[in-house]
Amino acid sequence: MPVDTRDERRWLKRFGRRDLAEIRLLCFHCAGGNASMYRDWTRWTPASIEPIAVQLPGRLDRFGEAPYENMDPLVDKLADVIAPLLDQPFACYGASMGAQVAWALTHALRDRAMPMPRKLYIASSAAPGAEEPVRGWNEPDSRLVQYMVDLGGTPPEILAEPDLLARLLPMLRADLTVLGTHALRPAAPLEVPIRAFAGREDVEASPERMSAWRAETCARFDLDVVAGGHFFTPAGQRQVIEVISDELARADEQLIRPGEEEFR
């Protein structure tokens, strides 16, 4: 299905376009988050990599749009939106909810026989096979707020402002409903390498829980433990970006664009 250019601009945010980049890095935000969490990634990655952040409906410039509450239509739409980008090698990175979205999207791409990411990077998300219950999505607002407090990452000024919370909670609940109602049971693991990043103090997605992502790929799996909890410290976040940048920059030397042949 052709994607309207305006539609693409709503979904995909480029914080500094890199037309000469050799590989694209699609970045998926956490529940209740938005694409701006990747605003500085262009400054921290080499010119050969173009970070492109996905902006889901219901937040910032898409506040007037209804957020998704189900994973299947979400990834179906995402597959259509990113299709024009798949003429070039790409990888995916997702944090928390974004990890699950990136994983489900990769399965949708495989089901459609579309180009697959060269690597799937995930952070702060227990593996799907762990079957951990999703907190907050079907609980009262008070429990949802407590969930935000427990995870950290929400500025105190937002927690202290009832009006701000009233605007944020429906969108956060919708995001968590996407996770709480998703029950993908793939017939076969991906053939895409997976690298996972776990916060050392993360209770929600501990390194032990994230190690179970190993079962989701029959290719290489790596797990890095970084500083921080569910939301990494600045040093931990920089470590993640450096690892991804180093891997993709080195892989870039071996990348062949779709339709090209390698002659030795």
For the chain, the domains span 5-252
Tokens representing 129? 């096979």
Per-residue HEC secondary structure of 202-222 comes to CCCCCHHHHHHHHHHECCCEE
Lowest mean pLDDT among 73-82, 163-172, 214-223: 163-172
Residue-level pLDDT at 50: 96
Q: How confident is the model at residue 255 (pLDDT cuts 50, 70, 90)?
A: very low
Residue-level pLDDT at 30: 95
User: Using one digit for the tens of pLDDT, what is the confidence trace for 96-118?
Assistant: 999 999 999 999 999 999 999 99
Full-model pTM: 0.89
Residue-level pLDDT at 253: 53
- Measured in degrees and rounded to the nearest 5, phi and psi for residue 156 equal -55, -30
- Residue 79 to residue 107: CA distance in whole angstroms: 10
Distance of CA 190 to the CA centre of its chain: 17
CATH code: domain 5-252 is: 3.40.50.1820
The pLDDT of residue 6 is above 90 = no
- Residue 211 to residue 206: CA distance in whole angstroms: 9
- Measured in degrees and rounded to the nearest 5, phi and psi for residue 243 equal -65, -50
> Which of 233, 223, 179 lies closest to 201, judged by CA?
233
* CA distances from residue 224 to 23, 112, 153, 208 in whole angstroms, order as listed: 22, 31, 21, 11
The pLDDT of residue 54 is above 50 = yes
